[in-house]
Chains A and B, each alone.
Chain A
């Protein structure tokens, strides 16, 4: 599991310092602190960013909103935003709201509030509500990562790192090259949201990353995976054999 990358756009050093301190304490990775609009774009395009925390006002101009607007209109570039503001001025909010989905946080804020705001932003951005706040689930699936709530903070797992997933009722065991952990997510949701060109169901309880398959032994109903992992192949799902490119 990796830390989530956060870009901070904030022109007041004391505030950005406090924010950095809080986020790092909660295992977030700060990729940079931008103080201007240009600086922010620069840092955004040159770093892997998962979430952006940005002040609406940079040097007394609503450049924060301008930044969000610029990112929003760039295809495939947009990321979850959390707007920071010290005023609830309606006009500014109306403008900021145009960059959907919209999450905001009033200054001053405490640790709980910023963590909550980050989680809300991720939920809203990937349109999977009531995940981190509820008790049934703890994982959001994007096209690249799994975002998993771990204690007070968020963690992420690159989807391509996953070898296979073993489902046990409400829980899913995620097995990667390096580790093995349990997440809370429903099977229907996971099968709906995972990229089916990479992941295939091989059994009622197994979802396999086809890229990690080393050998399939149909007679034993067995799939051998990289890292000496094994998965079961049931008759119902034998069709995958046709879909998998095999070297001959």
Chain B
């Protein structure tokens, strides 16, 4: 008989454990909310706060670490300490370190708000450690509490545990009322699973005492109830119990059916396990697949980002390229414009040059032609030996050659200026001597024309100038003055030192003068070349052009003052040389 009971007892334990945990869940949730509240209340204690949050997350190790830290901080607050100890005790319990758990729970002071819960836990621990008598003490105290104290733990559980304790101590008569009470309470709650366990316990109680008549109906009740549940475990347990019962009654065929049923349920459990495993594998597979998908998506995303970046970069490069191209295009158009302008200017200059050539050659041709006819005349005169006319003609010829020479001279200097080949050296120069030297060449001409010449430049007047270019300037200005003067006119060269920086060299004549429009034309940057207003005078405007350029080159200023019929003043202002000798 004993042998047959033993597996039953094991069965009871199994049930008991299952029972214990299923009951706990609702109470746990309730108590967790209490802990949460406490944690927010003691937020200023970071260790406790952390421990509490880990507790709720059921991370027991972390809870133990932080509660230890909290305890080490020697906080005097009793409430806080008790709570910490409770968290520690519960964590140890969850880690199946029952003795440590017991120690922690015992540290909690009697004033603790939830001391009943502590007692309950201590009872549980004693039960786990098979200290049934201790457990009974705890549970007896709890059992006598009024109804409203069973907030965070179940009264039926208290009765159940008490019953179990007595059962283990084989004090069946003491166990019976508790188990019956337990069943009654469960029946009130109408919890099928618990009820099955309750009936099982009662059945075992009676069976142990060989009160088979009392036990069997409970077994059957449990068995009947188990049919309505989906739990294979319950079904197999009740079937196994029934088969043991039938076996003891020697009703083997029934026992066999129960046994078979039990095995069937056992298989189902195994199947279920296998299904779980398969499901688990499938789940894992699915997770893997999902992960792969995620990876794929991530990769795709990466590729997309890359592509987008690539696009961005290429767009940027394109933009820069466009900018650069635009810049160069602009530069090119600019240079093109400049080139075009230069081309136009070159064309203009070329046209001027062509015109100049035509005028110069025309003038030279007429000069040479005049010489030719004059030479013929000379020959005639020579034959007729009229020496007076001979002299006259020769003088005339010499004049023609003189002006042709000065034209050629100007042409040469103009060409030299254009090619910038000429030697040019600005030095201190005494104006008087230069004027004298230049005037020397025109003395006979002026005498012939009956023009009075006077050089009243001071010998001390010194300027900075290039000697040769000053001579060219003077030659042209004096030549002009002579051209536009008649007999009894006079030419006067003198200086004015009104300015501290410039010395004004003035070539004044009492000749024809220049009209206002012509004057403006002459002073323009580029004098249009033209035939002269006054016939019989060779000239192209080249001389004056040359003067202007050379004066500019010598850093001087050129101006003309003129009144028609009264005369002209040509003023050349040159930088003064500091007179130190």
Contact = CB atoms under 8 A, between A and B. Distances in A.
Contact of A113 (B422, B437, B581): B437
A211 interface: no
B433 A133 contact: yes
A75 interface: no
Interface string B432-452: 010011001100000000000
B459 interface: yes
Contacts, number: 38
A130 B436 CA distance: 17
Interface stretch (A88-96, A175-183, A197-205): A88-96
A110 B459 contact: no
A112 B436 contact: yes
Given A90-B422, A93-B423, A110-B441, A130 B433 contact: no
A88 B416 contact: yes
Contact of A133 (B421, B430, B471): B430
A116 interface: yes
A111 interface: yes
Nearest to A110: B440
B422, B423, B437 pick with most chain A CB within 10 angstroms: B423
B134 interface: no
A110 B422 CA distance: 21
B128 interface: no
A112 B440 CA distance: 7
B220 interface: no
B383 to A, nearest CB: 29
Contacts of B422: 88-90
B430, B436, B459, B581 pick with most chain A CB within 10 angstroms: B581
Given A106-B468, A110-B437, A112-B437, A134 B423 contact: no
A88 B437 contact: no
A112 B422 CA distance: 23
A171 B471 CA distance: 34
Interface residues on A, range: 10 to 19
A134 B459 contact: yes
A188 to B, nearest CB: 14
Interface in B371-426: 416, 421-424
A135 interface: yes
Given A88-B416, A88-B422, A93-B423, A133 B459 contact: yes
Interface string A121-136: 0000000011001110
Contacts of A112: 433, 436-437, 440
A90 B423 CA distance: 4
A129 B581 CA distance: 8
B577 to A, nearest CB: 11
A88 B468 contact: yes
B581 A130 contact: yes
Given A106-B468, A134-B459, A116 B421 contact: no
Interface of B: 416, 421-424, 430, 433, 436-437, 440-441, 459-460, 468, 471, 581
15 contacts: A88-B416, A88-B423, A90-B424, A93-B423, A106-B471, A110-B441, A111-B440, A112-B433, A112-B440, A113-B440, A116-B433, A116-B437, A130-B581, A133-B430, A133-B433
For the complex of A and B, 6 pairs with smallest distance between CB atoms = A93-B423, A130-B581, A88-B422, A112-B437, A88-B423, A110-B440
Given A110-B441, A134-B581, 10 more contacts: A88-B416, A90-B421, A90-B423, A106-B471, A110-B437, A111-B440, A112-B433, A113-B440, A133-B430, A133-B459
